Structure 1
Amino acid sequence: MIPKITVGKFLPCLAVSALALPLLAIATPAEAATGPTASVSMGDSYISGEAGRWMGNSDTTSGSRSGTDRSWTGSSYNPSKIYGATYASGCDRSDSAEVRDASGIAQTQINLACSGAVTANIFQAADGGQSFKGEAPQADQLAAVAAKNNVKVITLSIGGNDLGFSDVIQSCVKDYLIWDSYCHDDEQAAIDSQMDTAMAGVGKSIDEIRAVMSADGYAAGSYRVILQSYPSPIPRSSEMRYPESGWTRETTGGCPFWDADADWARDTMVPEISDRLAAVAADKGAQFLDLRDVFQGREVCSTSTRLATPSAAPSATTSEWTRFVDAGMTTQGTIQESMHPNYYGQLALGRCLTLLYAQPTGDYACDNTPGKDSSGMYLTAK
């Protein structure tokens, strides 16, 4: 056993604050039908655009970070270029968020998702919904959007924070850094204890969305609800490019996880959550987008990817598509960006949504083509 040491490392956190958004005047159904068509995203950090600031990852700590930091102005960093006003709030709705990258769906794209949200932040306030850091519940925001626009599709990513996903990451990273034990046994038990309640919350979220749309005069068949699952940000152990021993997973790659914990997260936890979300979608009549394998070979520390360096620029075909666990006494960006789809990953998710919208019915999994950028995304029927 190697003795515990002090490491300049943070633990990821998904909890964030949010800005209040003004509600728009409620229009009549007739007025709503004449508004611009809209694609709306709702939910948590995996759809809000968290980590959209980053084009791959690099251990370079200054300047543009080898071209990976999109907030670099040439003399300083301005994350508001990427996240707008929501950088100050912590919702981190990026300019590359999935809903904004999906093409050919609607005339306008509206992102209501906020990093850190749980299912209770989706429900209408009248039905027990909770404001999130001063922002109205997302269903109440949807009511205003649906009244002013002709909403064609609502894409929802929710449930991960109800399951304590950030706690899982923190526990697994901590256990690796102190070389103490594996995290997966305890975390599996914790997820199991929360799963039924979390999935009930996801189901109620869909019910709340439908209730809002009905109240705004939308017929059931005039719009679509898509529920999506979560991608794995790390690969299984056999596909890790850094050894389990030593400190390179922590100091270089930003993937401080034991092999056993990586295997559990990639091949047990993520598929289990995806299967349960698929069951909720089927029960509620929502279309399901399975993202469990969408970043296969593009995860942090995958043998199929590399870090950007001063002599090797980031690339959608060679860089990682998820944000690494940031290292050092001073992080490159913000803690909450870790383990989320980055700019390249969000372009890929947007392409997945575009492809799914072209399928009027049915559930699909989205995958990538090795060696290609987001243009290589494709669907497989479930």
Structure 2
Amino acid sequence: MFRPARALSVAATAAVLAMTTLFTASSANAAGVNYVALGDSYSAGVGAGNYLSDSGSCKRSTNAYAYLWSNANSPSSFSFVACSGARTGDVLNSQISALKSSTTLVSLTIGGNDAGFSSTMQTCVLGSDSDCLNAVNTAENYAVNTLPGQLDQVYSAIKSKSPNAHVVVMGYPHLYQIGGYCLFGIGDTKRAAINEAADTLDSVISKEVANAGFTFADVRDTFAGHEICGGLDTWLHSTTWPIDESYHPNSSGQADGYLPVFSQS
């Protein structure tokens, strides 16, 4: 005889077992992640405060998107080697050794320092409009003509060391809101040029990332409305002290800007 109550019980038990199996599999997958965070100051979390004492001048922050993701997801291993001021050569010479064949997840930002980010910003803040435009033009020429080969070397090395890893290359945001108000700041001509340089840099990076078969994570839309001169809810420092934190994401920029984009990539 058909017993509805028993059938329901069997079905419910099967459903619970299926959900338990799914949960167990998901947990096992999360537990199997071996994560390495490479890159420059934007990945180290310069500007976000709470720097790890053992990171020295690299200024790795517990508020950096990589550290936040690790805390939230508890990977099997986490190696955080991003460093302030890093260029592509620094990744190859000092950071790539953190990768292993067992590495399953890699993140990085790199290329801005190679293209002269710091010196360009200094010129634009202290110099004339024409000085700024010339500096941006020089940086863009470098990004278009020289940086692709340097990025390719980094991406090839990552692929060689960790062939099975999911590699997420994070982009750079626009720094300024055009037409926004700052009590002290640069004009829209300079702001537009600096944002254009970010577009050029991101375009070059995204192309090389695609060629490598990696994932490019674009943060520009997420940062929209939170740029310098964009209002009270700004996710980026303007000129600040310590000076090396200028034009870097603050803790909100890391947690609300970079982290969700990385997490969805």
TM-score bin, normalised by smaller chain: 0.7 to 0.9
TM-score normalised according to structure 2 size: 0.81
| Residue matched to 1:183 | 131
Instruction: Give the percent of matched residue pairs that are identical in Structure 1 and Structure 2.
Output: 24
The Cα of 1:107 is off from its aligned counterpart by 3.6
The Cα of 1:86 is off from its aligned counterpart by 4.5
After superposition, the C-alpha distances for 1:62-95 in whole angstroms (9 at most, x for unaligned) are: xxxxxxxxxxxxxxxxxxxx112256x2111000
TM-score normalised according to structure 1 size: 0.57
Q: 1:259 aligns with which of 179, 184, 188?
A: 188
Structure 1 pair 86–230 and aligned structure 2 pair: CA distance change class (3 A): farther
- What are the within-5 Å matches in structure 2 for residues 219-230 of structure 1? 220=163, 222-230=164-172
Residues 37, 106 of structure 1: 8 Å contact kept: yes
The runs of 5 or more residues in structure 1 that have no matched partner are 1-34, 54-81, 124-128, 130-136, 214-219, 243-247, 250-255, 307-318, 357-382
Letter in 2 for 1:37: V
Structure 1 segments of 4 or more deviating over 6 A? none
The Cα of 1:209 is off from its aligned counterpart by 1.1
Q: RMSD in angstroms over aligned alpha carbons?
A: 2.0
Q: Distance in 2 between matches of 1:119 and 1:105?
A: 28
| Residue matched to 1:84 | 52
Q: Decide which structure has greater helix share.
A: 2
The Cα of 1:199 is off from its aligned counterpart by 2.0
Structure 1 pair 339–205 and aligned structure 2 pair: CA distance change class (3 A): same
Q: Distance in 1 between matches of 2:140 and 2:228?
A: 26
Residues 52, 61 of structure 2: 8 Å contact kept: yes
Q: 1:203 aligns with which of 152, 156, 166?
A: 152
After superposition, the C-alpha distances for 1:103-131 in whole angstroms (9 at most, x for unaligned) are: 447344321100100000111xxxxx3xx
Q: Distance in 1 between matches of 2:122 and 2:150?
A: 23
Q: Does 1:118 align with 2:47?
A: no
Q: Distance in 1 between matches of 2:149 and 2:194?
A: 22
Q: 1:341 aligns with which of 231, 249, 254?
A: 249
User: How many pairs align?
Assistant: 231
Residues 63, 254 of structure 2: 8 Å contact kept: yes
Q: Does 1:169 align with 2:121?
A: yes
The Cα of 1:139 is off from its aligned counterpart by 0.7
| Residue matched to 2:12 | none
Q: 1:232 aligns with which of 164, 169, 174?
A: 174
| Residue matched to 2:41 | 45
Q: Distance in 2 between matches of 1:181 and 1:230?
A: 23
Higher relative contact order (CA 8 A, sep 6+): 1
Q: Distance in 2 between matches of 1:163 and 1:206?
A: 17
> 3-state SS of the aligned residue for 1:299?
coil
Structure 1 pair 91–188 and aligned structure 2 pair: CA distance change class (3 A): same
Structure 1 pair 105–182 and aligned structure 2 pair: CA distance change class (3 A): farther
Structure 1 pair 91–285 and aligned structure 2 pair: CA distance change class (3 A): same
The Cα of 1:300 is off from its aligned counterpart by 1.9
Q: Distance in 2 between matches of 1:107 and 1:115?
A: 26
After superposition, the C-alpha distances for 1:255-294 in whole angstroms (9 at most, x for unaligned) are: x22210101222x211111111111011111111112333
The Cα of 1:184 is off from its aligned counterpart by 3.7
Q: Distance in 1 between matches of 2:54 and 2:225?
A: 31
Structure 1 pair 105–353 and aligned structure 2 pair: CA distance change class (3 A): farther
| Residue matched to 1:138 | 95
Q: 1:291 aligns with which of 201, 206, 219?
A: 219
